[in-house]
Chains A and B, each alone.
Chain A
Amino acid sequence: MANQQRRSGSTATAPDQVTGGSMRSDAMLEVRNLKMYFPVRAGFFQRVVNQVRAVDGVNLFIRPGETLGLVGESGCGKTTAGRCIIRAYEPLGGEILFRREDGDVVDLALLDDQSLRPYHRQIRMIFQDPYSSLNPRMPVVDLVGEPMKVNKLARGQELEDRVAELLRRVGLRPEYMKRYPHAFSGGERQRIGIARALSLNPRLVICDEAVSALDVSVRAQILNLLEDLQQDFYLTYLFIAHDLSVVEYICDRVAVMYVGKLVELASTDELFAQPQHPYTEALLSAVPQPDPLLRDQKKRIVLEGEVADPAHPPSGCYFHPRCPYSDGSSCVHETPALSETSPLHFVACHYAEKLSLSGVVAPGVLG
């Protein structure tokens, strides 16, 4: 499986689906003002009484070949955002601009199912739970080969050869291809999931908590595998995770979400050394470090209260009820916009440039 075998772009796209060149020139995927609300229904007629604002105006971009981390606590909308990008959910609004291999830009949010098909080959997903994301009634050869069969890329002996090649590449023995998922451990199943995602030579892979369910020693194997595959196939990753130490290790840039909104987006080094949003600062300081000598030196910010309910978000900045720096006026009444405070460092906070927040990595340590 080599790069040149990759199918180039799509042929079926009508010209009107190609938007102008308004996308960031360095980006491969750019999401603008993405919104996804889920209705809350109640009563006999199941009328919509409220909306859960799972994703509420998210802006981010991914450059080719990089790993962008999307982090936040449960319910912050990171998984929903990922699913909107592959159009597993129909977003309520916003643009999902994707650069095709021929350089043209297409807005995935506007496409119908038929015209989306070629992009489903180029954007693949790896899921968290390798126990529930693989059909237990299918042997590995079908699990990994099915996408190729569906897309009519290979069949028969050729298909088996390519499955064997993929399995070898992700560190599994091809002899096991007739076995069913139950015969594999969690780490091996995750490798099967990765092989399946790679079977169509994707350009962008969305890893949704891909290593969260794994034991520490196995997690390290999978992280290293993802890195190797990225090098070999020039993959771009959107790495959705809640574990910040993993994100710090694997991501080039990190986007932080809080209650459906993006609060900060910066390079990993900058975000961990000099966060500019109070939520990022608190989140970083809350992660227990695997070094007992650090426990007394570290200044830990323990946030009051709980994550806001996305069905009843607070006014102004969603973080203001828990924010130690809230001013009680503009933070309560005005929603801060995401703005670029320094090159490629985006923050949504009224006081981003006035506060001096502390990170968890000394800036001097970083290259």
Chain B
Amino acid sequence: MSNSDLLLEVRDLKTQFFTEDGIVRAVDGVSFEMKRGETLGIVGESGCGKSVTARSILQILDHPGRIVNGQILFHRVSRENGSEVRETLDLVALGARGPEIRDVRGKDIAMIFQEPMTSLSPIHTIGNQIIEAIRLHLPVSKYEARERAVELLRRVGIPRPEERMDTYTFQLSGGMRQRAMIAMALSCSPSLLIADEPTTALDVTTQAQILDLMRELKDDMGMSIVLITHDLGVVAEMADDVVVMYLGIVAEKGGVVDVFHDAHHPYTRALLRSIPKYGLRAAGQRLDSIRGMVPDPYSRPEGCPYYPRCDDMLPGKCDRISPPSFQIGPGRVVRCHLYEGHEVADPMPSNPAENT
């Protein structure tokens, strides 16, 4: 298999919410891949489908939501009796229930959230929660699990970890809770960590600590990170590759420097111009804003979802035909009619992975 360093491939993912008021196409044909050891930033405004994409990977969608199309290929490397076992799992095919997906969740792919109390229990001690997570996936004794949990808490920078094992979440500050949640996520040494707005609720100095911690852990443990955020500063600081989403589609993707310094999609360009940069005002410049607002999810525009706000809109085209994704360079994809003439990126490559 040529792509042994690939970890995750998302192909033409469509996730929809079947509500009483109609179908919400939250993720509408998203494709990307990520390599082992990479940090992939998924960035976009609220309602762009970045969190739903993340939840689709782990199959933890909330009730009326369902994956209706696509593949999520996870290339798992595990060790059995000393030998390396490589297999490719289609997480969509595994479904949301059953032992196979449960074996992946928490063990191979772990997730951390904006609000630590989403994944921590208020009525169990920190220690017991981490011990439970370890013993669920690994064949270790209670004593070994406890040792490991203390080690994890120390590793994420919680002072006096032996004492903290017996504390409850309400006894910890926001930053410490975030660390405890990261410790729990790391308990089984996952190969992929999905971080959904991990620092949005934190103060900047705490955010700097947590981002540093994530970078260190990634290097130490050879982990890959999917970092979901609306903060372009956090993406610029952390990511190797960036996926820019707008209303359920990938507007643009590429290396972080390319996307920030050579943005092609009109949305990416406008988004970058609408964030204040130091010295802008001193230079006498104003912020450029994007006119209008993100449309209501029930009334998605026909054609390109960005056309009503786009300054480069081509009448008769952008408002009618949904643009394909164009490959404008290695690893660089832009979903916009302006780049017609470039090769169309195939969302479903013809050689689907073996042994699925």
Q: A residues touching B (Cβ–Cβ < 8 Å)? A: 73-74, 185, 187-188, 215-221, 223-224, 227, 242, 244-246, 248-250, 268-269, 272, 282-283, 285-295, 300, 302-303, 306-307, 360-361, 365-367
Residue among B176, B234, B278 with the most chain A CB within 10 A? B278
Question: Given the complex, which residues of B lie within 8 Å of A220, measured CB to CB?
Answer: 274-275, 287-290
Distance of A245 Cα from B288 Cα, bound (Å): 15
Q: Are A248 and B206 in contact (CB under 8 A)?
A: no
Q: Are B205 and A282 in contact (CB under 8 A)?
A: yes
Contacts A242-B204, A288-B233 given; indicate if A248 touches B275 (C-beta within 8 A): no
Q: Are A290 and B236 in contact (CB under 8 A)?
A: yes
Question: Can you report 13 A-B residue pairs in the complex whose CB atoms are below 8 A from each other?
Answer: A216-B274, A217-B270, A245-B276, A246-B276, A250-B276, A286-B208, A287-B204, A292-B239, A292-B257, A293-B261, A360-B278, A361-B279, A365-B279
Distance of A187 Cα from B237 Cα, bound (Å): 28
Q: Are A290 and B209 in contact (CB under 8 A)?
A: no
Kindly identify which residue among B204, B260, B276 contacts A286, using a CB–CB cutoff of 8 Å.
B204
Q: Which of B111-155 contact A (CB under 8 A)?
A: none
Q: Are B46 and A215 in contact (CB under 8 A)?
A: yes
Kindly identify which residue among B211, B237, B274 contacts A219, using a CB–CB cutoff of 8 Å.
B274
Given contacts A291-B236, A302-B209, A306-B206, 6 further A-B contacts (CB under 8 A): A217-B271, A217-B293, A245-B277, A249-B281, A290-B277, A365-B283
| Smallest CB separation, A358 vs chain B (Å) | 13
Q: Are A244 and B204 in contact (CB under 8 A)?
A: yes
Q: B residues touching A (Cβ–Cβ < 8 Å)? A: 45-46, 173, 175-176, 203-209, 211-212, 230-237, 239, 256-257, 260-261, 270-272, 274-283, 286-291, 293-294
| Smallest CB separation, B228 vs chain A (Å) | 15
Kindly identify which residue among B286, B287, B291, B294 contacts A215, using a CB–CB cutoff of 8 Å.
B294
Distance of A245 Cα from B276 Cα, bound (Å): 6
Kindly identify which residue among B207, B275, B286 contacts A216, using a CB–CB cutoff of 8 Å.
B275
Distance of A307 Cα from B77 Cα, bound (Å): 42
Question: Given the complex, which residues of B lie within 8 Å of A250, measured CB to CB?
Answer: 276, 281
Question: Given the complex, which residues of A lie within 8 Å of B237, measured CB to CB?
Answer: 288-289, 292, 295
Question: Given the complex, which residues of A lie within 8 Å of B176, measured CB to CB?
Answer: 306
| Smallest CB separation, A136 vs chain B (Å) | 18
Q: Are A295 and B45 in contact (CB under 8 A)?
A: no
Question: Given the complex, which residues of B lie within 8 Å of A285, measured CB to CB?
Answer: 208
Q: Are B236 and A224 in contact (CB under 8 A)?
A: no
Q: Are B256 and A292 in contact (CB under 8 A)?
A: yes
Q: Are B45 and A215 in contact (CB under 8 A)?
A: yes
Distance of A295 Cα from B257 Cα, bound (Å): 11
Question: Given the complex, which residues of B lie within 8 Å of A300, measured CB to CB?
Answer: 208
A-B residue pairs, 8 tightest by C-beta: A288-B233, A220-B289, A249-B276, A217-B290, A73-B203, A220-B274, A286-B208, A215-B45
Distance of A250 Cα from B287 Cα, bound (Å): 10
Q: Are A303 and B205 in contact (CB under 8 A)?
A: yes
Question: Given the complex, which residues of B lie within 8 Å of A248, measured CB to CB?
Answer: 276, 278, 281
Distance of A307 Cα from B206 Cα, bound (Å): 9
Distance of A248 Cα from B175 Cα, bound (Å): 26
Distance of A365 Cα from B280 Cα, bound (Å): 10
Distance of A295 Cα from B261 Cα, bound (Å): 14
Distance of A269 Cα from B279 Cα, bound (Å): 8
Residue of B nearest to A227 (CB): B286
Q: Are B274 and A283 in contact (CB under 8 A)?
A: no
Distance of A185 Cα from B299 Cα, bound (Å): 14
| Smallest CB separation, A284 vs chain B (Å) | 9
Q: Are A216 and B205 in contact (CB under 8 A)?
A: no
Kindly identify which residue among B206, B232, B257, B286 contacts A290, using a CB–CB cutoff of 8 Å.
B232
Kindly identify which residue among B45, B175, B231 contacts A306, using a CB–CB cutoff of 8 Å.
B175
Question: Given the complex, which residues of B lie within 8 Å of A245, measured CB to CB?
Answer: 233, 275-278
Distance of A287 Cα from B211 Cα, bound (Å): 11
Kindly identify which residue among A216, A295, A366 contacts B279, using a CB–CB cutoff of 8 Å.
A366
| Smallest CB separation, A170 vs chain B (Å) | 14
Distance of A223 Cα from B283 Cα, bound (Å): 17
Q: Are B45 and A217 in contact (CB under 8 A)?
A: yes
Question: Given the complex, which residues of A lie within 8 Å of B173, measured CB to CB?
Answer: 306
Residue of B nearest to A244 (CB): B204
Residue of A nearest to B288 (CB): A220
Distance of A185 Cα from B47 Cα, bound (Å): 12
Distance of A215 Cα from B239 Cα, bound (Å): 20
